[in-house]
Amino acid sequence: MTTRRLPRILKALRRTALQAVPTVIGILILNFFLLRLTPGDAADALAGEAGAATVETLAALKSKFGLDLPVLEQLGGYLSNLAHFSLGVSPRYNQPVAELIAARLPNTLSLMGLALVFALVIGITLGALMASFAGRPADRVLSVVALLFYSIPSFWIGLMLIVLFSVKLGWLPTGGAETIGANLTGWDAVLDRARYQILPALSLALFYVAIYARLTRDDMIEVRTQDHVRTARAKGLSPFAVTRDHVLRNALIPVTTMAGIHLAGLMGGAVVVETVFSWPGLGRLAYEAVMGRDFHVLLGILLLSSLLVVAVNAAIDILQAWLDPRIEVR
Amino acid sequence: MAPLIDVRDLSIAFPRATPVRGLSLTVEAGETVALVGESGSGKSLTALALMRLLPDAARIASGEILFRDRNGAVSDLARLEDRALRQVRGRDIAMVFQEPMTSLNPVLSVGQQVAEVVRLHEGLSRRAAFARAVELLDLVRIPEPRRRVGDYPHELSGGMRQRVMIAIAVACSPRLLIADEPTTALDVTIQAQVLDLLDALRRDLSMGLLLITHDLGVVAEWADRVAVMYAGRKVEDAPFETLFGAPLHPYTRGLLAASPRLDAGQHYSAGALAEIQGSIASAAGEEGCAFAPRCPNARALCRAAVPALDAVAPGHLVACPVTTVAAQREARHVLAFG
Amino acid sequence: MHGTDTFPTGALAAKSLAADAEDRATAAALGAERVPAPPSEPDFWPNVHAPDAARTVTADVARLAPVGRRHALLVFLSNPTAVAGLLILAVVVGAALAAPILFPDDPLEMAGRPLQWPGQNPRFPLGTDALGRDVLAGLVHGARVSLLVGASATLAGLLAGILVGATAGYFGGVVDDVLSKLIEIFQTVPGFILLIVLVAIAQPSVPAIALAIAAVSWPQVARLVRAQFRAIKEKDFVAAARALGFGHGRIIFREILPNALPPVIVLASVTVATAILMESALSFMGLGDPNVVSWGSMIGTGRDLLRTAWYLSAVPGVAIVLTVLSLNLIGDGLNEALNPRLGGEG
């Protein structure tokens, strides 16, 4: 059967690639457009921070980073840099933007990954529970709970989790990525990092828990009324086996699509959560870039995260081709 | 010996309606019984009730469903607890549904879906179940079963899908096979093939076959006995020759008269295609015989009480006082002057 | 089952089907609950029959019947959670409107001794912050900012989304291809990061923030409106309007748009909620309008004292949660009331 899946997946790959190209071009244009709109520049900010800004130091700074060139030339430079996988140099950090981002990206990805796992596991479980109580008070209550999760700002729940688990109970650290100076190795290091990641990932996940719970509930209720589920029951399968092998599998296909759609939102949410927990990821970098008016870094992050979303969506397309045999006829 | 399945006085209720009332029905081993009626007569609900697969809102309000299993033990399916019921479903009683398009799981290969049922009831390993699935696909005459076993439902034609459904149903050699409008969704040319297959399997596996249909052509060709339902009640039950040769209930007569597919030679179809006045909906909420509002022979007594099923001849039951009386009078006449 | 499970008695079957469909259509037009049904299977097995004529008829009839709107209102008002949402929102709106009367002084000014816990001093029921500002006053004034930004961002987003979505859906072809791609691009870019970029470029002020939020929320509206337009433009009454020689503008705004609105209204309530969340996140990070007090900025300033005075962060957060929750509850209620598929079955 795996041999049967391969052409389906290759087809999906080609289609996805064809769709992605104009999107990427559009994103590049959007980025250029935004860059043109940026007021002031990093040199001003740097000089401002340094205190006494003379005209000469300012000019020197500007010419060093190419900030004195006309906007169009800057854009041309940006574009040609992009072609060489370079996102320019950050005046603030005095480091190539691509390097800055590359250093922070893994942290953000692992945070998002864990958040997504939390969101899917808790959300699907909650949704399956709601579906099995559909129409009864338990379903109604869980629906409102899900809606409540949906209404809580991630940064605020992050702070409240800190108050509870770090300040009051002292179980988990308030922020950062690892215990500084502990020099742990192996499993200890992994566990140490995990302790730092739980609260931010949970804060980020809560909103999506609500989404997946409701989505799973609705899908399962819909799938459950489909004829093939009756066939499965007629085979003598237990309710649990029917749910696991027939209902859930069909219901999860739309959930994976949504996970792709939400990736962009998750990325944005990470920015806020990272600032709450001082998590050294892209979000925190973006925050620092805004504060320092470092638009090269900021737009680099915007560009890269957009491209990341395109890439992950492509991956999800392929996952769906694997999950859903009907995909090739569509 | 007791019949394979003996349904006694079955009623199926929804919160605001009782679409099946007081239905009794038997199927013997190796016998094909057709349950006939138009849309809304309750025949499909009856079929689902036998496997306790009724929709959530519906319940068995009264009655017994006595089923004799392989060992000769009789149990009441209407009251059987869920775990024991799951042992019966798919193993002792299996069902083929109307819509082969939607009755198979779209995201599992047909092989997986056939293998699932033999793994469940016969405890085969994954590999053995898969080999068995290939055999079963061959049994239901799917060409190149080894290749088809990995296909997904959307890759198969309607007829092929229905064969897969049949393969799932007969996988554990059930004692009773319920086929709910198994050919309605199929092309006419495929219908006969699928019914031939069902009939052959019934013979080979000596199953009882309960065929739910509205198609009298199907009944004429494959049924041993026919039960006619109207608005949730059985109105006539007879061996197939009797029913087609000498139907008694006005509704049965109307059905036969309205059927274009019966061969000439039966005097009802000699004239133009007839129709039964009114619709089944007009029966709702009436006292007495549900068919009375549409019945050409209706009398006052028809509207007074629900007619009981009377045996007019051995194995021939009719729920129509008017015809029963007439038939008896005729019988006496024959006795007196014959 | 319709269409397949028919008797070979053509006339009989056709008649009973027609009657069935008519009954349902009438019932739907009256906005009545399902009439005590004849004992027929289709009513109880909604999954067995294919998308059938009866349903299509109800959808069209619903458009013609003004009773449908009143029915939707009744469904909405009989939903306890939706009414709860409405009440919460009414309190928040009331507080926002009454803010200048209740707390005429600038909420950014010192009002009493700093860091009094809630309940400690009856003059400040929700306490005071590190600079001695009244938390309750800040809360009430903050409601103004949150609601103003939420409402105006949604309005602008709806306007843009409807314009783009309607154009794409109505005209189709190349116009649709281009606009769809545009929508897709804006949905691919992480909205909150784009929002930060826009606010950083534009300098933070309430109108700029509202516009920036609109700029990241319009694609969702556009997508929905486009889908609605694509579906509705195929309907008979649109063809009739075309046949009468109406111009595109009239068909778009007078014929299709009113029928496309119900799901857009549902989305709008959720968009207001999202906008409020985004504004609060921005002000929390210190990217909000520095001249007004907002719930997010209150949490942000309270954060420094999280260990000792966590109520400073907790209290405005509760206000955000309640407001956003109320909007989501309303959205849910509207969805149930306006979606014919769900409304009929509850």
Confidence (pLDDT) at C19: 34
Confidence (pLDDT) at A65: 58
Confidence (pLDDT) at B264: 41
Whether B107 and chain A come into contact, CB under 8 Å, resolves to yes
Q: At residue A330, does pLDDT exceed 50?
A: no
Confidence (pLDDT) at B2: 73
Confidence (pLDDT) at B336: 60
Confidence (pLDDT) at B32: 92
Whether C18 and chain B come into contact, CB under 8 Å, resolves to no
Whether C52 and chain B come into contact, CB under 8 Å, resolves to no
The candidate with the shortest Cα–Cα distance to B71, out of B85, B94, B88, B52, is B88
Q: Which of B98, B215, B284 sits opposite C39 (nearest CB)?
A: B284
Q: Partners for C (CB, 8 Å, 3+ pairs)?
A: A, B
Confidence (pLDDT) at C3: 33
Question: What is the per-residue pLDDT across C95-105, written as a single tens digit (0 to 9) for each?
Answer: 888 878 877 77
Confidence (pLDDT) at C219: 92
Q: Regarding predicted confidence, which is higher, A176 or A112?
A: A112
C-alpha to C-alpha distance for A56 and A67, rounded to whole angstroms: 14
Q: At residue C160, does pLDDT exceed 90?
A: yes
Q: Which of A153, A267, A290 sits opposite C281 (nearest CB)?
A: A153
Angle at B78 between CA B72 and CA B82, to 5 degrees: 90
C181, C185, C198: best mutation site toward chain A, by most A Cβ within 10 Å?
Answer: C185
Mean pLDDT of A283-297: 82
Confidence (pLDDT) at A74: 64
Confidence (pLDDT) at A59: 67
Q: What is the mean pLDDT of chain A?
A: 78
The candidate with the shortest Cα–Cα distance to C214, out of C199, C227, C201, is C199
Two tokens at B18?
Answer: 């009782």
* Chain C: residue whose CA lies nearest to B180: C5
DSSP-assigned beta bridge partners for residue A120: none
Phi/psi of residue A325, nearest 5 degrees: -65, -20
Mean pLDDT of C14-41: 33
Mean pLDDT of A205-234: 87
* Chain B: residue whose CA lies nearest to C8: B259
Least confident of A127-131, A167-171, C202-206, C230-234: A167-171
Q: Which of A235, A249, A323 sits opposite B116 (nearest CB)?
A: A235
Quick one: pLDDT band at residue C14, thresholds 50, 70, 90? very low
Asked if C40 and B185 come within 8 Å (Cβ–Cβ), the reply is no
Mean pLDDT of C285-313: 83
Quick one: pLDDT band at residue C38, thresholds 50, 70, 90? very low
C-alpha to C-alpha distance for A161 and A25, rounded to whole angstroms: 41
Mean pLDDT of A225-244: 88
Confidence (pLDDT) at C29: 34
Whether B116 and chain A come into contact, CB under 8 Å, resolves to yes
Which H or E element spans position A259?
helix A248-277
Q: SS3 of A117, please?
A: helix
Chain C residues with CB under 8 Å of B273 CB are 9-11
Asked if B105 and A250 come within 8 Å (Cβ–Cβ), the reply is yes
Chain A residues with CB under 8 Å of C303 CB are 159, 276
Q: Regarding predicted confidence, which is higher, C39 or A167?
A: A167
Q: SS3 of C189, please?
A: coil
Question: What is the per-residue pLDDT across A28-66, written as a single tens digit (0 to 9) for each?
Answer: 878 877 876 766 555 555 554 555 456 666 666 666 656
C-alpha to C-alpha distance for C327 and A255, rounded to whole angstroms: 24
Q: What is the mean pLDDT of chain C?
A: 74
Quick one: pLDDT band at residue A182, thresholds 50, 70, 90? low
Q: Regarding predicted confidence, which is higher, A257 or C206?
A: C206
Mean pLDDT of A274-300: 83
Two tokens at C250?
Answer: 């009239």
Burial per residue of C155-192, b for 16 or more beta-carbon CB atoms within 10 angstroms, e otherwise: bbbbebbbbbbbbbbbeeeeebeebbbbbbbbbbbbbb
Chain A residues with CB under 8 Å of C269 CB are none
Confidence (pLDDT) at A84: 66
- Contact of A297 with C193, CB cutoff 8 Å: no
Confidence (pLDDT) at B154: 86
Q: Model pTM?
A: 0.71
Confidence (pLDDT) at C24: 33
Confidence (pLDDT) at C45: 32
- Contact of C237 with C295, CB cutoff 8 Å: no
Confidence (pLDDT) at B17: 83
Q: Regarding predicted confidence, which is higher, C272 or C77?
A: C272
Confidence (pLDDT) at C25: 34
Tokens 């900021």, residue located: A298
Mean pLDDT of A218-246: 86
Chain C residues with CB under 8 Å of B55 CB are 44-45
Residue window 216-245, chain A: list those with CB within 8 Å of chain B: 226-228, 230-238, 241, 245
Confidence (pLDDT) at C58: 35
Confidence (pLDDT) at C39: 35
DSSP-assigned beta bridge partners for residue B6: B26, B66
- Contact of B291 with B283, CB cutoff 8 Å: yes
* Centroid of chain to Cα B315: 18
Confidence (pLDDT) at A62: 62
- Contact of A273 with A314, CB cutoff 8 Å: no
C-alpha to C-alpha distance for B149 and B170, rounded to whole angstroms: 16
Q: Using CB atoms within 10 Å of the CB of residue B305, give its burial: 0 to 12 exposed, 13 to 18 middle, 19+ buried.
A: exposed
Confidence (pLDDT) at B278: 61
Chain B residues with CB under 8 Å of A238 CB are 86
The candidate with the shortest Cα–Cα distance to C315, out of C331, C329, C301, is C301
Radius of gyration of chain B (CA): 21
The candidate with the shortest Cα–Cα distance to B319, out of B297, B289, B295, is B289
The candidate with the shortest Cα–Cα distance to B58, out of B88, B96, B16, is B16
Q: At residue C346, does pLDDT exceed 50?
A: no
Tokens 């950083």, residue located: C200
C-alpha to C-alpha distance for C340 and C338, rounded to whole angstroms: 6
Confidence (pLDDT) at C48: 29
Other Cβ atoms within 10 Å of C293 Cβ, number: 25
Quick one: pLDDT band at residue A8, thresholds 50, 70, 90? confident
Q: At residue C225, does pLDDT exceed 60?
A: yes
Q: Which of C8, C10, C39 sits opposite B215 (nearest CB)?
A: C8
Least confident of A192-196, B12-16, C24-28: C24-28
Give me the tens of pLDDT residue by residue for chain B, a chain 338 residues long: 678 899 999 999 888 888 888 889 999 988 999 999 887 788 889 999 998 988 888 889 899 999 988 888 888 988 888 888 888 898 899 999 888 888 888 888 899 999 999 999 988 888 999 999 999 999 888 898 898 888 888 888 888 898 899 999 988 889 999 998 888 878 888 888 888 888 988 988 889 999 998 888 888 888 899 999 988 888 899 898 888 888 888 888 888 877 654 444 444 434 444 556 665 554 445 577 888 888 887 788 888 788 888 888 888 888 888 877 777 777 666 666 54
